Structure 1
């Protein structure tokens, strides 16, 4: 379990799962894999009849967003984002890391049918970014990790907002209101102290049933069902939520995210020439590594200048560039945004998936180089000082 809680191993599992999915999809097993992902599984006695692919992206991934919401709340109340002044620099850098990639994407896709894919390169994958930092960043000061964590968390908030607002289809207010009512019940019930062991077990079962029902109602409302995970993560009593997240973390790292990565990356490489690739492909490919580095480093630098950041938390330009490269590892949320943005066009979705994978891998390589150089410099300075 300790291995699955580390920063490195889950990132390696994600990359391997995505690679296996991509390889199998382009092997003789590809058609069978596509049929499997498209196989519908109906929840007996309910209105839910989803393909295996949708059960993964709409259902399984809600567990990941539940744990992510718990971490977000912790950082906002007790962690790196609890003090507004300390949160301002990563917040401004995160804004730059959203705005510039969007502009880069639109340079390629504006005025075309692919323009609605602009949210795709805005995300940062926390697991991957921290994994690369753990592998190559030995010797980096804690301020760099805190900055990256805050940046990735704020990026996640933006991604969640985009999913909730931009990709809501045929909104059903009554279902959404019912889901909101259940979240309120979940909020109250999770804070009630059980009197006996039996009472505790019954309440845990009730919370699980309410969580599943909330997911179902959010799905029926037209809002992407993963938002149910976000709402429940924020609503749960903090201590219980932190304990539950600790128990779920190994399973999320070992199963939920690798299964999603495998499923999302299992696309056939389009048999087109480089010149026939869509603007969506090129926009994402460039926006993730280039747009993120420019946006995060420039916005972070200007924010520090404007706010007069204290020396103990001030980051040199080199550290900001390294953080920008890490921010370009979009992966999980970018893949989900790509599926949602081009839900009706399988060929474009395949190109988008390849672009997210390629752009994230380029960012990983650049991040590995920049982080290694910065870490080497800090270790050298520490050796001289000692």
Structure 2
């Protein structure tokens, strides 16, 4: 009996789909198709009786992407309670490496683009796209020890936490505390309902939870906090059993529709017809900080972290493996694209060049990662064959 495996639950196919969607968005933005697609993305859809009046593009980045962050938050909670980060001992080494993977890209970006209107883009190169990175690892990493994947997973999860904090803290505007307080009450109600849902589930409770979740999203969006934070809060508080079921049910939709659609919309930017020296410092800051900053930051800080171990024992990972993990960390993509939209929301010219920087920097990291990961995988396969 053959077992059918949904490719949208894997790691390789969603990564390829994401790359194709971004490439298609960039291509169509620079063909005669630009104007009609841009006009469609700018169509506004309002919710009657509320202050919510968003363009189609913002419904994708603020609305649909909240579902992605809901799934991410469920994964974060699992890893923090039962997974790779469920104890300080497990979290220490990847936390040190993740710190380097954030600080060094920020420093590189600020050196290149830290003056004037581009200075606010420093959070952009700090993110790692966990789905993309694990997809590349699955493609090229056959034979790598499981410790590399575990380390990368923990590293990317910590990066996600940092990215979520940046989104919540740095890009809040004119916060309406009453609305935010109402959203918190809604989140508590969602938590209580999820505990009632239990292992068997109950249709009426599930429908009520969906309604409460939508209301929470609307309240967070109207409060001045970025709407995706609603997805994070709901995912973090949901009871474990229904959360696991929800993640399993939503995973194909997130991988097959939501993320590719967001990648298409985010990458729908016109390539400026200027010489390289006329490109914004934000573009160059991101292009350099993503591949170079992540490799140096994760490699060096990870190497220092590996010194923290019982005397007489071998390090879990050696420097070449850490550099390979660093190259994977430079694939910023989804969260970096969102951060680029938020950091330069008021300057479309710089925003579009920052998005191009994310695409180019992530692509460079992908190429470097493919080479370094496959090289390390071959070496580990040779060592395994010789032993």
Q: TM-score, normalised by structure 1?
A: 0.97
Shift of residue 359, structure 1, vs aligned partner: 0.2
Q: Which residue of 1 aligns with 2:248?
A: 246
Greater CA drift, 109-118 or 152-161: 109-118
**Per-residue deviation, residues 331-379 of structure 1 (Å, max 9, x unmatched):** 0000000000000111111101110000000000000000001000010
Alignment: residue pair count: 383
SS of equivalent to 2:117: coil
SS of equivalent to 2:54: strand
Q: Which residue of 1 aligns with 2:131?
A: 127
Q: Which residue of 1 aligns with 2:119?
A: 115
Q: Which residue of 2 aligns with 1:148?
A: 152
Alignment gaps of 5+ in structure 1: none
Q: Distance in 2 between matches of 1:327 and 1:23?
A: 26
C-alpha distance 195-34 of structure 1, shift in aligned 2 (>3 A)? closer
Q: Which of the numbers 246, 270, 274 marks the counterpart of 1:272?
A: 274
Matched, 1:15 2:19: yes
Q: Which residue of 2 aligns with 1:172?
A: 176
Mapping of residues 191-340 of structure 1, within 5 Å: 191-193=195-197, 200-308=202-310, 314-340=316-342
Query: In angstroms, what is the RMSD of aligned CA positions?
Result: 1.5
Confirm or deny: 8 A CA contact 1:121 1:334 kept in the other structure.
yes
Alignment gaps of 5+ in structure 2: none
Q: Which residue of 1 aligns with 2:71?
A: 67
Confirm or deny: 8 A CA contact 1:171 1:221 kept in the other structure.
yes
Q: Distance in 1 between matches of 2:385 and 2:321?
A: 19
Confirm or deny: 8 A CA contact 1:270 1:347 kept in the other structure.
no
C-alpha distance 77-33 of structure 1, shift in aligned 2 (>3 A)? same
Mapping of residues 26-37 of structure 1, within 5 Å: 26-37=30-41
C-alpha distance 103-189 of structure 1, shift in aligned 2 (>3 A)? same
Q: Distance in 2 between matches of 1:312 and 1:56?
A: 47
Q: Distance in 1 between matches of 2:255 and 2:311?
A: 35
SS of equivalent to 1:80: coil
**Per-residue deviation, residues 195-216 of structure 1 (Å, max 9, x unmatched):** 997xx11100110000000000
Confirm or deny: 8 A CA contact 2:199 2:242 kept in the other structure.
no
Q: Distance in 2 between matches of 1:255 and 1:185?
A: 29
Shift of residue 40, structure 1, vs aligned partner: 0.6
Q: Distance in 2 between matches of 1:72 and 1:122?
A: 18
C-alpha distance 193-263 of structure 1, shift in aligned 2 (>3 A)? closer
Shift of residue 111, structure 1, vs aligned partner: 2.4
Runs of 4+ residues over 6 Å off in structure 1:
194-197
Q: Distance in 2 between matches of 1:251 and 1:195?
A: 22
Greater CA drift, 96-105 or 302-311: 302-311
Confirm or deny: 8 A CA contact 2:306 2:315 kept in the other structure.
no
Q: Distance in 1 between matches of 2:315 and 2:203?
A: 45
Q: Which of the numbers 80, 83, 97 marks the counterpart of 1:79?
A: 83
Matched, 1:105 2:109: yes
Q: Distance in 2 between matches of 1:364 and 1:196?
A: 42
**Per-residue deviation, residues 250-301 of structure 1 (Å, max 9, x unmatched):** 1100000000000000100011111111111110000000000000000010
Shift of residue 178, structure 1, vs aligned partner: 0.4
